[in-house]
A and B are shown apart, each in its own frame.
Chain A
């Protein structure tokens, strides 16, 4: 009996979905303008609120919501209040596409913020073109999010608020040559990761162009635990500086084993180092004299940053991480574009986004280049007895 009842329930539910879909199509068919309601502009959030990278998406959503609240409290953009439509893509590529369809065709948003990872963001490329809705990812760093890998053409409606991977290598080279006065460097790369290889290539290019010399190049793969023999080789080359782009799991062991072998040269990497696990693996004192590039630091004395950190802490009770800061910035980036476009029309917002210039945001002054990537500063974080401390900010 019960089973049969359930069957009927399912049928009813299916019917209901069908009817709803029909009505949605009916109202959606003729819609040309994206803003509906009075004095409102809808911004969709397509973020990872559950699933394996839920912490990324949740932080970014917090940041974006804080920004929207601030903007609305200050009277909105051109008199329009921002209304957020928040959706969860469950850290899944195909779900991200589903969410994007819903936001673009049913909710009729003017722009979308999302997703936090490159893969989930790339699921929206084609949809953004078809529906002509601009998408701003807060934190997708892969090249191919904004530029098509095969054709080299810009994905017209895709933007991002973070810098891309190769930029970190360039910044690290500038820092090593300038602040640390290094003349020779060794590069120890995770060759199983495109991210690390990209960072290493741009570091090598910038370091040699800046007058430095790469004296040793070594590689490892993810999952390695024994680095001592390769480190002995690096020690023999005696470099002033060691660049180790990679993820914290291996980097932590590399730093520990290097310091145990009396390699005291400064070591540096990219945002893949940003994890509390790194301190556990490497040990607090071993981490002294190591640095990494990151999107932002909550200890940056810049008043714009401190204003954001305080507001975030008041609202959520914790220090904002990089994802929160970039989610916050993504919302301001869109708000600025709406203001300049003077409209909530997605195509006009897209035009304005592409022309963004010298906009001051929490993670730095930002201009959007011809490839829809921001040109902005990077923060250098230094480890002092296991604590991440803000060292300096480097402009491109």
Chain B
């Protein structure tokens, strides 16, 4: 039952990509900016969760909530300090700033606590479920559950709340939304808060699942999530979810076939192919879904 095991491995990895990709896609949908600092917000989430669990002795759920709360504040701050003034500048200026913010977060973290990695505590012990010869750990199930809950919550916020409606309106046409009395700045702040909170949760989940966290850990998952967002059609929320899962499954299957060394290469080849032949991605055409 190797294939079932590999499927479970792929879904776990994919749901982490999907959570990070959501933040990318929401921010892009609303301000047309690829926020490269997003991967580092994910890293900060992992560390906040770690200190919540070890230094403050909080439980798992309080730690994840703490990480989400703090990362959402950080997300809003990043937007306020670094991106807001550049909203009407050429896109390349904002993009360069995003890379600068990313490096700033990474090396400030190294400056404060050093570059050494940390090991996440083992919260769920070795409880395992055996399904048809595949082994699934209790924490893998919890991770999946949390990812699904967060994604459903996001869908609900976007479609059934006032702020969600505002986000969709600003994404559709910021000028028209302003004329309708929607505060564009506030809506953008909300978008950053939500996206960063998801990245923070993904960080804690990542730490639990892969144990090792370090200040530069956001780089590769951040890029992979960006690929996932592009794959699903950047700007589309369901696209980011599906894109993340597809990417996780593809990477797992590449390793499963014995090509683990080219796993990252395959992910980037997908990015290039999508950009060449299908720049709108899987769900990109569905303009009304954009946030």
Contacts and interface: CB of A to CB of B under 8 A. Distances in A.
Q: Do A and B bind each other?
A: yes
Interface of A: 191, 218-221, 223, 225-226, 228-230, 232-233, 235-236, 249, 252-253, 256, 259-262, 277, 280-281, 283, 285
A277 B117 CA distance: 9
Given A219-B261, A235-B5, A260-B128, 4 more contacts: A225-B217, A230-B256, A233-B256, A252-B211
Contacts of A253: 210-212
Nearest to B10: A229
7 interchain residue pairs of minimum CB distance: A229-B255, A280-B119, A225-B210, A228-B9, A229-B252, A281-B119, A230-B260
B6 interface: yes
Contacts of B9: 226, 228-229, 232
B210 A226 contact: yes
Interface residues of B, number: 26
Contacts of A260: 126, 128, 135, 137
Given A228-B9, A232-B9, A260-B135, A252 B256 contact: no
A250 to B, nearest CB: 9
Nearest to A226: B13
Contact of A229 (B6, B117, B137, B217): B6
Interface of B: 2, 5-6, 9-10, 13, 117, 119, 122, 126, 128, 135, 137, 210-212, 217, 220, 251-253, 255-256, 258, 260-261
Contact of B119 (A219, A221, A262, A277): A277
A253 B209 CA distance: 10
A229 B210 contact: no
Given A232-B9, A260-B135, A261-B135, A281 B212 contact: yes
A226 to B, nearest CB: 6
Contacts of A262: 128, 135
Classify the secondary structure of A's interface with B. helix
Given A191-B261, A229-B256, A230-B255, A236 B210 contact: no
Which residue of A191, A218, A223, A236 has the most chain B CB atoms within 10 A of its CB atom? A223
22 contacts: A220-B260, A220-B261, A221-B261, A223-B220, A229-B10, A229-B260, A230-B255, A233-B2, A233-B258, A252-B119, A253-B210, A253-B212, A260-B128, A260-B135, A260-B137, A261-B5, A262-B128, A277-B119, A280-B119, A281-B117, A283-B122, A285-B126
B126 A225 contact: no
Contacts of B211: 252-253, 256, 281
A281 B126 CA distance: 15
A218 B256 CA distance: 11
Contact of A219 (B217, B220, B260): B260
Contacts of A219: 260-261
Given A260-B126, A260-B135, A283-B122, A232 B212 contact: no
Contacts of B13: 226
A281 B207 CA distance: 11
Contacts of A277: 117, 119
Contacts of B253: 229
A232 B256 contact: yes
Nearest to B126: A260
A236 B2 contact: yes
A36 to B, nearest CB: 46
Nearest to B12: A228
A226 B211 CA distance: 10
Contacts of A261: 5, 135
